[in-house]
Amino acid sequence: MSTRFSGRSVLVTGASRGLGRSVAVAFGAEGARVGIGYRSRRAEAEKALEEVRSAGGDGEVLQIDVRDMKNVRAVVDVFAAGHGLHVVVNSAAVVMDQFFAMMDDAAWSDTIAVNLTGTYHVCRAALPHLMRARGTVVNVASIAGFRASPGQANYSAAKGGVIALTATLGAEMASRGVRVNAVVPGLLSVGMGQRLDQRVLEQRLAQIPLGRSGTGDEVARAVLFLASDESSYVVGQCLVVDGGLSL
């Protein structure tokens, strides 16, 4: 069994379900101690922790609201004080789809607050610890961040910001011992992809060269690569995992 992350502590936000849970379990299978970040779904976070332990890892659940800098800093500092902090995966996300002409202010501001500002908050709080550990950050972006996605102007803007933030942080932090990269998923069978209308799902599947949606495990493997020493010369990059959708 691979133990690339044995002895390392990993914080995954948005880990109570969907892609975040897949990522957390994948780290557990590699021997990591995983902080299961969640905002309100504690029962689901506890189930995710059970899966992490069943996979061979360990960890704890961490209630964290990525919109709140004070809360983020407190949670990150306590977790790092107990176990160190070697990897951060920014997976917390919300989708509030509306056509732009009819979009209300809350749909815009809340989506930016979680997807983009939340990523900023976690990175700001974690970087001092990651510099000591010479650790890594993997941000979860989306192909909506660099291609048109009608009905998702707010989400696209947020994920486009995550892509730009990743490149700049990668350039700033490499000389300080921290590598920052992003994984860019396409249509997945977990999380938000499960809530698509069937007709919309069929239309999108028809555009994917592989002819199917991706799994959480397929994206998680890409996250582990970017977080591991196997990608030691990869900095500020976006690894697209979309079955060819963005080609």
**Catalytic annotation, residues:** 155
- For residue 123, give the nearest of 166, 62, 82, 80 by alpha carbon: 166
Helices (H), the chain: 18-29, 42-55, 69-83, 105-112, 118-133, 153-173, 198-205, 216-227
Where b means 16+ CB within 10 Å and e means fewer, 2-24 reads eebbeebbbbbbbbbbbbbbbbb
DSSP labels for 159-205? HHHHHHHHHHHHHHHGGGT-EEEEEEE-SBSSGGGGGS-HHHHHHHH
Report CA Rg, the chain: 17
The half-sphere exposure of 26 on its side-chain side, counting CA atoms within 13 A, is: 22
Quote the CA–CA distance of 175 and 52 in Å, as a whole number. Answer: 33
Tokens representing 69 are 């800098």
CA proximity to 76, closest of 7, 137, 19 = 137
Both structure tokens of 220: 């998680």
Other Cβ atoms less than 10 A from the Cβ of 140: the count is 25
CA 240 to chain centre: 13
